[in-house]
Amino acid sequence: MKYFIKKLITLIITLLVISFLSFAAFSVIPGDAALSRLGKDATKEQLLALREEMGLTDPLPERYVRWLKGAVQGDFGESYRYEGITVQSLLEEPLFVTVLLSGIALLMILVFSIPLGIASARFSGKWLDVVTNQISQIIMAVPPFFLGMILTYVFGLTLHLFQPGKFISPRESFWKSVEYLIFPAVAIALPKIAMVVKFLRNSVLAQLSQDYVRTAFSKGNTSSGVLYGHVLKNAMIPVVTFLAMVIAEILAGSIVVEQVFSVPGIGRLLISSILNRDYPVVQAIVLYVTAVVVIINFVVDILYQLLDPRVRSV
């Protein structure tokens, strides 16, 4: 319990620091939210009036405190870019889409990389291992956005397995929306699968050379028994840490891939909000993403304890 409270306090402090930093960043960089919304033809009066309305004329600490008060109550205010639309309603669907996309990508990573990684280790040096290794090497070198473009051309424009840009909102049809997200998810997942396979393989191989493996064999275990009963549990500890990092990277990757595939997720919203100086939206997205990353780290810590009881005493 004490451990849990400690982690919770860390979470809150992290969120506070991050939110203040992103708040401050926007007051340093050039550009003006009111001007972005009104454009070239705006008159001086219109600009001043809108700045006043948006509260941009107040000093930074005052604005931050006001924002914080709202945020604590779950109220992120109104978008600067879209008049009369609250940040929550603007974020709702994109957030769901991105979570869905990340979820599919994560599922792909787990389903493919763990069996492949174990198989690679088990048949180390055999053709399966060599081929997997080579392919992983190549895929890792390709950035997700480029992979996305290749997938679009091959599967979208040539083979017509999906229609680029024809995303169907999950509100209209959940499964059609999942169907569209498969290829974007592949673009995010492939490089990560390659990494996890390589990581898991090496981790398993490292464990296999440990003394306890010899002991396990001498006790009469089969090679499968040793692998799944003893080695894997130990080999998974660093892999879980790595997976936590991968989840954060999936979020980052989805920002880029969403652009390529025209997926209306928070990645696209984040980029357009930054370009339009729509601070309230950016703040909310940054906060969500930070929270996700911190919470995942927290979950990983718990997982450690399940995998390795020694951590608990530390």
Tell me which residue has tokens 């996890």: 196
The answer to whether 40 contacts another protein (rule: CB under 8 A) is yes
**Cβ at position 78, least distance to another protein in Å:** 12
Binds another protein (CB under 8 A): choice among 102, 132, 276, 283: 276
Candidates 243, 257, 251, 259; CA nearest to 289 is: 251
- 62 vs 83 by CB, closer to another protein: 83
Residue range at the interface with another protein (CB under 8 A); choices 8-16, 216-224, 268-276, 289-297: 268-276
Encoded one letter per residue, x for contact with another protein by CB under 8 A and - for no contact, window 228-267 reads -------------------------------xxxx-x---
**Cβ at position 92, least distance to another protein in Å:** 11
List binders of another protein among 155-214 (CB under 8 A). 156-157, 163-166
List binders of another protein among 128-157 (CB under 8 A). 152-153, 156-157
Binds another protein (CB under 8 A): choice among 5, 28, 45, 209: 45
The answer to whether 103 contacts another protein (rule: CB under 8 A) is no
DSSP state of 205: H
Q: What φ, ψ does residue 78 adopt, rounded to 5°?
A: -100, 150
In the three-class reduction of DSSP (H, G, I as helix; E, B as strand; rest coil), residue 111 is classed as helix
Residues 6+ apart with CB under 8 A from 198: 117, 133, 136, 140
The answer to whether 38 contacts another protein (rule: CB under 8 A) is yes
Binds another protein (CB under 8 A): choice among 8, 21, 85, 141: 85
Within a 10 A sphere around the Cβ of 24, how many other Cβ atoms? Answer: 12
Binds another protein (CB under 8 A): choice among 28, 39, 59, 211: 39
Length of the chain in terms of residues written:
314
The answer to whether 88 contacts another protein (rule: CB under 8 A) is no
Task: For 121-176, give the DSSP string.
Answer: HHTTTSHHHHHHHHHHHHHHTS-HHHHHHHHIIIIIIIS-SS-TT----TTT-HHH
Binds another protein (CB under 8 A): choice among 272, 295, 299, 306: 272
Angle at 12 between CA 6 and CA 14, to 5 degrees: 100
C-alpha dist (Å) from residue 219 to 6, 129, 214, 227: 42, 28, 9, 14
DSSP state of 210: S
Where do contacts with another protein occur on this chain (CB under 8 A)?
29-32, 35-46, 79, 81-85, 90, 94, 152-153, 156-157, 163-166, 259-262, 264, 268-269, 271-272, 275-277
